[in-house]
Copies of this chain bind each other. A is one copy, B any other.
Amino acid sequence: MATLLKLLDCIAPPVGTAGVQAAQALDQLTKPRGSLGRLEELAQRLAAISGRFPPEIRRPVIFTLAADHGVVAEGVSAYPQIVTAQMVENFLRGGAAVNVLARHAGAEVIVADLGVAAPLPAHPALLSLRIAAGTANMAKGAAMTRREAVAAIEAGLGLVEAERGKGLDLIGTGEMGIGNTTAASAIVSALTGLSPVEVTGWGTGVTEEGRRHKITVIERALALNRPDATDGVDVLAKVGGFEIAGLAGVILAGAAFRIPVIIDGFIAGAAALAAVRIKPETRHFLLASHRSTEPGAEHVLAALALVPYLDLQMRLGEGTGAALCIGLARAAVKILGEMATFKSAGVTDRSACPLSSPRSPSWRSFP
């Protein structure tokens, strides 16, 4: 807890002029002002968050955290629990979607076991940060103790701290855990005050009947555990998951170290919401990768006041949306670093033309 508290003290809104420098530099490049839209906003935010101009992306890492959920005993998922462990092995062999998309984006995937139920064979690339062999069933009591929640958050902090020493400069969030859309829906319901009906979807693909059952289970878990909405740690403990709490730690650490954090989909979004409840200033360091089709994702984005960069009707998790967004972030950074200026290219700027006026693009109002 000492570690977490110390870290929280470091989180403050980003200061400095790097964001303004980026905006000014973008307006010198050979293109109508603001005409690259959100790609320009992304470049500017990467500068503002990191405090670096020009912003750089040398070592982006996707943290894919895995854990199991006791609530699967209620029959809330389309897949059996063993799939969590099987998918962790798939990550380690490089055959999962997040591996493919991370390679495409030139990002590393760090896989950590925060509490997978089935035993996992030792693997040099698997970080074992197990809190327990899966959470307890939140429909029958708290998913974990407060101490366990703090330990999971601190495990996430530790991951970022270790990678920071190796040059980590962009964080992607990812997860795997059969049953974790149920936990995420419960977290989002608890933190936003929205009903489980509003924030619960089909996850990996249950039927409509399955979804109604899932909602009932979440309602029961919330009524039984009464998580304190003002206390992000309490919400994570009562109805969360080890991988979700771990991601909250990853996100808080990103904020503390001024490393931009790319939120993946619905589950990573629930972790971000918890992180922001724990320390509200965290929100300044977040970027939303994509608009998941999981219905609760929309509410998470609204609560975080984030507009995602991509809308590809994805709902896979693992960090797949974050991986695609890292590709866009690299493109945005290259725009700043590689494009010619009006001056260097000898291109006439339109300020010479009386008909022109610099329209303020809407993204200039972004935080």
Give the interface of A toward B (CB within 8 A): 29-33, 35-39, 75, 77-80, 82-83, 86-87, 89-90, 93, 95-97, 99-101, 103-104, 202, 204-207, 209-210, 293, 309-316, 320, 324, 327-328, 330-331, 334-335, 338-340, 344-348, 350, 352-353, 355-359, 361-363
Residue ID in chain B nearest A312 by CB atoms: B38
B95 touches A335 (CB 8 A): no
Known contacts A95-B340, A331-B104, A340-B93; A32/B315 CB under 8 A: yes
Interface-centre pick from A310, A315, A320, A331 (highest chain B CB count, 10 A)? A331
Q: A52 to B202, alpha carbons, bound, how many Å?
A: 33
Residue ID in chain B nearest A345 by CB atoms: B90
B204 touches A97 (CB 8 A): no
In the complex, the 6 A-B pairs of residues with the closest C-beta atoms, listed nearest first = A95-B340, A37-B313, A78-B356, A35-B316, A32-B204, A38-B312
Contacts of A314 in B (CB 8 A): 35-39
Q: A35 to B93, alpha carbons, bound, how many Å?
A: 21
A316 touches B36 (CB 8 A): yes
Q: A140 to B255, alpha carbons, bound, how many Å?
A: 60
B30 touches A87 (CB 8 A): yes
A356 touches B207 (CB 8 A): yes
Contacts of A327 in B (CB 8 A): 104, 327, 331
B207 touches A357 (CB 8 A): yes
Contacts of A31 in B (CB 8 A): 96-97, 316
Q: A165 to B30, alpha carbons, bound, how many Å?
A: 33
A348 touches B90 (CB 8 A): no
From B311, B328, B353, contact of A80 by CB (8 A): B353
A37 touches B315 (CB 8 A): yes
23 A-B interface contacts by CB (under 8 A):
A29-B97, A30-B90, A30-B95, A32-B205, A36-B97, A37-B313, A38-B313, A78-B355, A79-B350, A87-B347, A89-B345, A89-B346, A95-B345, A100-B334, A202-B359, A204-B356, A206-B356, A207-B355, A207-B356, A207-B357, A210-B355, A312-B328, A313-B362
